[in-house]
């Protein structure tokens, strides 16, 4: 069975607004596969195989088409991308904003509606610790995943690490998810629907695949969602301001110290399911249901709260409900309605797999200019992070753009200096009266 990737399309996107090398591997989604030879990330979304890569200025994407792809409802799944030109020659094209479903899916899934630089500035102004660590971890976005996939994935996360969770989720897709494509030796499946995991032999099969006690939780939860809850029950728990894909956004509730009423309701409803405790419920609320104030608290986050925020007694090593709520409410008070997002940035900064990202460089340039009645002081701060620049295997017709793309493609990791990518740029201007400076 044959298939082919579409040409590469691109969206203007700086690393400070989105860094896929961080966002896709920081413990939110467990299905993205890194293709080292081409620096691509691949995953099946809504029945279509997407491939992403990035440089300093653009996010590149393409999709795979084959005879095996299902024919989806036009209102849900993407059609083939359209471009500024009619050529199908494998060259880069600039996407017309808002006129293609592929763009809509990416903007929804990657949660691109918010200005992330503004959010980072807001959190940094409120929290010196966030400001200190955020420079090395710019571009971390909270993904807007399918609620069912987020639910099952985080049931798998109980007492587990990212690598093993990813293996479990891949097994679920391979054994129970719809087949989408085979590329080389890699097979790609979509995530299985609830009824696909509600069969009588599912629990025993998952145990044989190494899921342990989680096999029972996955099976029982699948039965509850597919047979004991109304259709669309999970989607109805979504934040109306950040609904499931294809549903129109509506105004939400008033924010409270413990979170909005809709968030508290969703959190409690999820706790009724098998294998869902407070932390798993909050992970699903944040990364599947769109509740930005949801703050998942585990022992790792508890340690961050103790170490960086002098929260509680350092001798206390376990979490109870009172401590859990107190930590989450503290962060909601500190960071506001998107507290879960800010918390995820600090959680990522504490992961061992990102220890190299702390090697950042900062350049501060201060310019003083005397004007007629005042002195203008301009402070420019540029932050750079050690990253590998992805190779762009394409050409563009526009000569100026062509030079930029080729320049990025030619960079290889020969020395640390060549892998530095601009990650943050802020400018502050102050004006002082000459009389006050005397």
Residue positions annotated with a catalytic role:
279
Contact at 8 Å (CB) between 409 and 388? no
Q: What are the residue ranges of helices labelled H in 114-195?
A: 116-126, 128-134, 147-156, 162-176
55 backbone φψ class: left, alpha, beta (φ>0; ψ -120 to 50): beta
Q: Which of 46, 50, 76 is nearest to 61 (CA)?
A: 50
Contact at 8 Å (CB) between 116 and 18? yes
Count of beta carbons in the 10 Å neighbourhood of residue 176: 19
Q: What is the 3-state secondary structure (H, E, C) of 3-51?
A: EEECCCEEEECCCCCCCHHHHCCCCCCCCCEEECCCCEEEEEECCEEEE
Distance between CA 277 and CA 372 in Å, rounded?
A: 64
Counting Cα atoms < 13 Å in the Cβ hemisphere of 273 gives 32
- Residue 363, SS3 per DSSP: strand
Helix (H) / strand (E) containing 342? helix 339-349
Q: Which of 272, 248, 242, 246 is nearest to 260 (CA)?
A: 242
428 forms beta bridges with 379
27 CB contacts (<8 Å, ≥6 apart)? Answer: 157, 162, 165, 347, 348, 351
- Residue 100, SS3 per DSSP: coil
Long-range contacts at 195-198 (CB < 8 A, ≥ 24 apart): 195/222, 195/226, 196/222, 197/152, 197/172, 197/222, 198/222, 198/223, 198/226, 198/227
CA 409 to chain centre: 25
How far apart, in Å, are the Cα atoms of 302 and each of 306, 321, 333? 6, 12, 16
């Amino acid at each position: 069975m044959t298939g082919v990737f579409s040409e590469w399309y691109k969206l203007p996107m700086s690393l400070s607004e989105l860094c896929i090398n961080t966002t896709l591997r920081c413990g939110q989604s467990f299905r993205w596969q890194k293709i080292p030879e081409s620096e691509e990330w691949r995953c099946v979304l809504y029945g279509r195989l997407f491939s992403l890569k990035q440089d300093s200025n653009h996010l590149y994407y393409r999709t795979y088409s084959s005879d095996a792809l299902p024919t989806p409802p036009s209102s849900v799944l993407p059609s083939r991308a359209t471009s500024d030109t009619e050529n199908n020659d494998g060259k880069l094209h600039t996407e017309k904003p808002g006129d293609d479903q592929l763009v809509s899916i990416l903007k929804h899934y990657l949660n691109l509606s918010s200005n992330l630089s503004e959010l980072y500035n807001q959190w940094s102004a409120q929290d010196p610790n966030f400001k200190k660590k955020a420079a090395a971890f710019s571009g971390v976005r909270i993904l807007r995943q399918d609620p069912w996939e987020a639910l099952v994935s985080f049931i798998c996360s109980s007492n587990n690490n990212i690598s093993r969770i990813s293996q479990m989720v891949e097994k679920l897709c391979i054994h129970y998810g719809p087949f989408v494509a085979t590329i080389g030796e890699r097979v790609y499946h979509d995530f299985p629907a609830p009824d696909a995991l509600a069969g009588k032999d599912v629990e025993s099969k998952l145990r044989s695949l190494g899921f342990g006690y989680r096999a029972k939780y996955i099976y029982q939860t699948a039965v509850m969602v597919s047979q004991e809850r109304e259709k669309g029950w999970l989607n109805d728990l979504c934040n109306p301001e950040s609904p499931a894909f294809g549903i129109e956004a509506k105004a939400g509730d008033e924010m409270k110290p413990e979170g909005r009423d809709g968030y508290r309701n969703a959190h409690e409803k999820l706790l009724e399911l098998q294998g869902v405790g407070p932390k798993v419920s909050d992970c699903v609320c944040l990364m599947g249901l769109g509740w930005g104030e949801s703050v998942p608290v585990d022992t790792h986050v508890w340690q961050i709260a103790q170490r960086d925020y002098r929260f509680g007694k350092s001798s206390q090593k376990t979490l109870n409900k009172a401590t859990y709520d107190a930590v989450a409410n503290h962060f909601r008070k500190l960071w506001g309605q998107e507290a879960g997002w800010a918390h995820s940035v600090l959680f990522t900064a504490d992961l061992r797999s990102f220890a190299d990202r702390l090697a950042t460089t900062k350049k501060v340039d201060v310019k003083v200019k005397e004007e007629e009645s005042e002195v203008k002081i301009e402070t420019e701060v540029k932050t750079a992070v050690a990253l590998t620049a992805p190779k762009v295997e394409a050409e563009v017709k526009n000569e100026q753009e062509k030079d930029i793309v080729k320049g990025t493609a030619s960079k290889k990791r020969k020395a640390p200096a060549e892998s530095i990518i601009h990650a943050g740029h802020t400018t502050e201007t102050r004006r002082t009266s000459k009389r006050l400076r005397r």
